[in-house]
Amino acid sequence: MRRNIVAGNWKMNTTVNEGVKLISEIIEKSKDLSDVKLIVAPPFTHIFSVGEKLKGTNIGLSSQNCASEEKGAYTGEVSAEMLANIGVEYAIIGHSERREYFDESDEVLLKKVKLALANGIVPIFCVGEELFFRESGDHLDYVCAQLDAICELSDDDFEKIIIAYEPIWAIGTGKTATSLQAQEMHAHIRNVLADKFGEKAEKTSILYGGSCKPSNAKEIFAQPDVDGGLIGGAALNADDFIAIAKAF
């Protein structure tokens, strides 16, 4: 059985005090959840404070990124070792915003994935296509090419990976991805990974990251290859975040 996962990416939102208040609300409202793994990814400034609140709970702590180097003269960067040292269990790697705004290449992303794994951190590896590739019909091939980076991993390392699919064209554009479009891409991703890793791909959780909210989560999560969501805006509201988790 694949694990059902709902991960909240807070992005560059909330102050430390607001983040502590938000996680306190999430902890309180999630007490009756048993069949889904919750993960939260606060900004770097919040990680320690939020982690302290999460002690004794089943909610996982994630970073939104990690450095592609172990240590050294990389001003402003935060290494996987540093994150692991303060209790980070997961790291979002290859998010569409990192790829677009910071020009993160497949080579850089693979280095980040390997460093995260070497420090006991589970990568949440993001892939997804822009509107041009969707409308041209090249969306499946485009996402397949993004998966090449993690196809270099060993079987043992691959087993630890979580995948998140982001239809970039459906995020903040007014366009909406249907549940069937999500299923098509998730099934394609699983088939691509199965070609490399065999039956291990059946155990890989693949999350949907395209404007998932309480009103559409149930339909999306009902698809056979959708194992949860990587939630953006809705993760900033405890009621919405928990409602999405309860959609299972």
- Calculate mean pLDDT across residues 151-178: 89
Domain ranges of the chain: 5-245
Residue 21 and residue 238: Cα distance in Å, rounded? 10
Q: What pLDDT, on the 0 to 100 scale, is given for residue 34? A: 87
According to the model, what pLDDT value does residue 210 have? 85
Of 9, 202, 193, the closest CA to residue 91 belongs to 9
Instruction: Give the mean model confidence (pLDDT) for residues 57-85.
Output: 98
Q: What is the pLDDT of residues 93-114, one digit of tens each?
A: 999 999 999 999 999 999 999 9
Predicted confidence (pLDDT) at residue 231 exceeds the cutoff of 80: yes
Q: Is 28 a catalytic residue?
A: no
Confidence of residue 127 (pLDDT cuts 50, 70, 90): very high
Q: What is the pLDDT of residue 236?
A: 98
Tell me what pLDDT residue 174 has: 63
Q: What percent of the chain has pLDDT over 90?
A: 92
Catalytic residue (choose from 104, 129, 166, 186) = 166
Alpha helix (H) residue ranges in the chain: 16-29, 47-54, 80-85, 96-101, 106-118, 131-136, 139-146, 155-158, 179-197, 217-221, 238-245
Residue 97 annotated in active site: no
Separation CA 191–CA 168 (nearest Å)? 21
Q: What is the model's pLDDT at position 177?
A: 84
| Catalytic residue chosen out of the listed positions 95, 139, 186, 188 | 95
Mean pLDDT of 23-45: 96
Place of tokens 């290494």: 79
Residue 136: φ, ψ to 5°:
-85, -10
Return mean pLDDT, the chain. Answer: 95
State yes or no: pLDDT of 64 exceeds 90: yes
Q: What is the mean pLDDT of residues 124-133?
A: 94
pTM of this prediction? 0.97
CATH number of this structure's domain 5-245: 3.20.20.70
Cα–Cα distance measured from residue 150 to residue 111, given in angstroms and rounded to the nearest whole number: 10
